[in-house]
Amino acid sequence: MTSKEPDMRARPILSGLALPMLMLAAPPAAAQIPPELQAFDEQLPGSLINDPRDIVWPTQGSALDVKGVQNADIPGGGAARRYEVKTKGPELWSSQTHVPLLAPIERGDTVTVGFYARTVSADTADGKGLLGVRVQENAPPYGGFGEKTLFIGSDWEWYEVTGSANLPIRQKDATIAFQFGAAKQTIEIGQTIVVKGATSILGTQKPAEEKPAATDEPLIPEPLAGAGTLLNKPDLRNWQNSAVVGTIENRDEPGIWLGHATRFSLTELGQNDWDLVAGIPIEQDIAAGDKLLIAIAAKTVSAETPDGNGLVAMRIQDNAPPYDGFAENIFNIGQKWQLIRINTVAPRDIPAGTAQVALHFAAEVQSIDVGPVYVFKTE
C-alpha cells in the first residue's frame, strides 16, 4: 500500500535561499550532495550531509503512528511530520525514525543535527515531550554517539545536538535517530539539517542552558579547594540526561554552590537503575593510573525508603555504547545538601570529551536534587 502526500514549497530558513520541502518518499541516499543542494550547502557551516528537503523517513515501532502536516506557521518550510506514540515503550528507541545521511562518518568527525520541533501533547509531569537524538549506525550492533534527550515544548523551536564520532559509520548505515518511546506523546518534527565539521548550525534557541551561569562565587567551593586539577565544567549544565521513567527538571537553587540544581523524580521503579540517568561530561582526557576524585553535591527531596534517604548509583563511563565504565558505587543521599566524595583510579586511557559521570536514579521511588558535580585529577 502506498500513499501520496502533497508537495510543499518551503520558506527559506537561511536568507536568500528558497529550499523546496518535499514530503515524498526518500530516494536512495547518494554518496555526495545533489547539485541542487550545493548552493544551500555553501550557506551552512561545515558540510551538509543530509537532504533537508525530505522529511519522510523510515520509522520503527508498533506503538507509533506517523502522518504529514502542513501549515504556513510551521517554520522552515510549512511542513512537518507528526509522531504519535500511543503507549510508552519499554525503551527510548521502542518508537523511532531515522534520517538517512548522504556521507560516511569517520572517527573524530564532528556531526551536528538541527531541526524544528514542537510537542502537541505529552503524558509527562510538565507536558513537555521527551525526544532522544543520536547519530546512529543503522545496522548491528547499532553503535552511535552524541546521545541527548531533549525536552520539547509546545511552541515551534529550533534544536541542535552535536557530537564527536568515536567510531566510523558507512554511508549506507549512517542515520540520525529520533527516539520517541520515553512517553505516550505526540511530537512534530519539521525541516532537519545535518552537517559535518561544525558544532552549530543556526545556534540553539536556549543559549542560557548551554552557557555557564553568571556568578560571583568561585568555581570551586572552599571544601574542594586544592583538590587537584579540574577535568569538567561544573558551572555548565550541558548534561546528557535521559528519562525512560520519571521526570527531569532544571531548577534555580540558591542553597547550593553555583545556584542551580537538577531534580530527578520517579513515581515508579525502572526496569533498570539507569532508566533515569544523568550524564555529566568530562571534557579533559584521562590517563591510565590517574587518581580521580568525584564530588557530587546532592540532597533527597523524598524517597520511599525505610530511612527516607535516596539511593543513587554512580560510575565513570564512555559516553557512547557499549558504555564501558569503572568506579561503580552505590550511595545514600540525606535530606540536606551534602557533598559525596568518591575516589578511584582510572584503569585505562580515555580521550578528552568521550567520558562522563553517570548517575542512576531508577532503583527507588524518589526525588533527588543534584547540584554541581566536580571531577578532579588529584595527582
Grid coordinates standing for 253? Answer: 537553587
Q: What Rg do the C-alpha atoms of the chain give, in angstroms?
A: 21
Ramachandran sector of residue 223 (left: φ over 0; alpha: ψ -120 to 50; beta: rest): alpha
Question: Which pLDDT does position 21 carry in this prediction?
Answer: 53
Q: Taking the complete model, does pTM exceed 0.85, yes or no?
A: no
Same domain, 171 and 248: no
Calpha distance 54→49 (Å, rounded): 13
pLDDT in tens, 316-332: 999 877 889 999 999 99
Q: Please, are residues 119 and 152 in contact by the beta-carbon 8 Å criterion?
A: yes
Calpha distance 80→2 (Å, rounded): 19
Same domain, 187 and 53: yes
Q: Please, are residues 204 and 210 in contact by the beta-carbon 8 Å criterion?
A: yes
Same domain, 220 and 73: no
Question: Which pLDDT does position 216 carry in this prediction?
Answer: 65
Confidence grade of residue 204 (pLDDT, cut at 50, 70, 90) = very low
Q: Which amino acid is at 302?
A: S
Calpha distance 236→248 (Å, rounded): 17
Question: Which pLDDT does position 1 carry in this prediction?
Answer: 34
pLDDT in tens, 117-150: 999 999 988 899 999 999 999 998 888 888 888 9
Same domain, 194 and 219: no
pLDDT in tens, 224-269: 999 999 999 999 888 888 878 888 888 889 999 999 999 999 999 9
Calpha distance 114→121 (Å, rounded): 22
Same domain, 223 and 151: no
Grid coordinates standing for 254? Answer: 540558591
Which of 147, 180, 205 finishes a domain?
A: 205
Same domain, 51 and 68: yes
Calpha distance 331→63 (Å, rounded): 37
Same domain, 140 and 243: no
Q: Which of 20-24, 179-183, 196-200, 314-318 has the lowest mean pLDDT?
A: 20-24
Same domain, 108 and 124: yes
Helix and strand numbers (H, E) in the chain are: 1, 22
Query: What's 47's domain CATH number?
Result: 2.60.120.260
Whether 292 is in a domain gets the answer: yes
Q: Please, are residues 282 and 375 in contact by the beta-carbon 8 Å criterion?
A: yes
Whether 10 is in a domain gets the answer: no
Q: Which amino acid is at 18?
A: A
Same domain, 183 and 327: no
Calpha distance 40→12 (Å, rounded): 10
Give yes or no for residue 177 having a pLDDT over 80: yes
CA of residue 36 relative to chain centroid, distance = 32
Give yes or no for residue 9 having a pLDDT over 60: no
Same domain, 40 and 143: yes
Number of domains observed in the structure of the chain: 2
> Residue 208: what are its φ and ψ, rounded to 5°?
-65, -25
Calpha distance 63→89 (Å, rounded): 8
Cis peptide before 12 (omega within 30 of 0): no
Which segments of the chain does DSSP mark as H helices, in order?
38-42
The stretch 11-15 carries a mean pLDDT of 41
Averaged pLDDT score across all residues of the chain? 86
Same domain, 196 and 236: no
- Residue closest to 153 by CA, chosen among 176, 113, 184, 185: 185
Which of 172, 205, 238 finishes a domain?
A: 205
Question: Which pLDDT does position 2 carry in this prediction?
Answer: 33
Calpha distance 233→144 (Å, rounded): 24
Same domain, 196 and 229: no
Question: Which pLDDT does position 19 carry in this prediction?
Answer: 54
Which of 164, 190, 205 finishes a domain?
A: 205
CA of residue 162 relative to chain centroid, distance = 9
The shares of helix, strand and coil residues in the chain, as percent rounded to the nearest 5, are 5, 45, 50
Range(s) of the domain holding residue 347 = 209-377
Give yes or no for residue 206 having a pLDDT over 90: no
